[in-house]
Amino acid sequence: MEVNSLRILSTSFSPGRIHDFKLYKESKTRIPETVVIKGDLGYLGIQKIHANSQIPKKNTKKHPLSKAAKAYNRQLSSERIFIEHVIGKLKIFKIISDRYRNRRKRFGLRFNLIAGIYNWERDF
């Protein structure tokens, strides 16, 4: 998805439950190094694959976050909120918010159609 246009540019799927980062690694989708990836804590190892990536700082009991780290996390989340809004709009169609009970073979086609409808609505 391109943040400036809020359009969905690429999708990837897998059968069953699989973690988002594992799906990203298995999809072999490569993003140019000039593009900044802004992910959540689910993408903890992405900095090894893509040097120009940003994820929030992690808080632990023994190492609480400093004020600078909290400010960084707040800034990053304020930039990522637009992506979360797009995901929320896609969940209106219930294909990703509920259990998919139709033929798995057609899930990718149907989701891409929904992404196309979303992109078409964004253009107006």
Q: If 0-12 CB within 10 Å is exposed, 13-18 middle and 19+ buried, where does residue 120 land?
A: exposed
Two tokens, residue 96:
């990703």
Residue 72: DSSP 8-state? H
**How many structural domains is the chain composed of?**
1
119 vs 75: CA distance, rounded Å: 26
Structural domain includes residue 11: no
Residue 71 within any structural domain of the chain = yes
Q: Which tens digits make up the pLDDT trace of 52-102?
A: 999 999 999 999 999 999 999 999 999 999 888 888 888 888 877 787 788
Domain assignment present for 94: yes
- The model carries a pTM of 0.73
Domain span at residue 24 reads: 20-123
* Residue 4 pLDDT grade (very low, low, confident, very high; cuts 50, 70, 90): low
Task: Assess if residue 1 is contained within a domain.
Answer: no
Residue 76 lies in a domain: yes
- What does the block give as tokens for 115? 């992404």
Report if residue 14 sits inside a domain.
Answer: no
- DSSP line for 51-78: SSEE-PPPP-SSSPPPHHHHHHHHHHHH
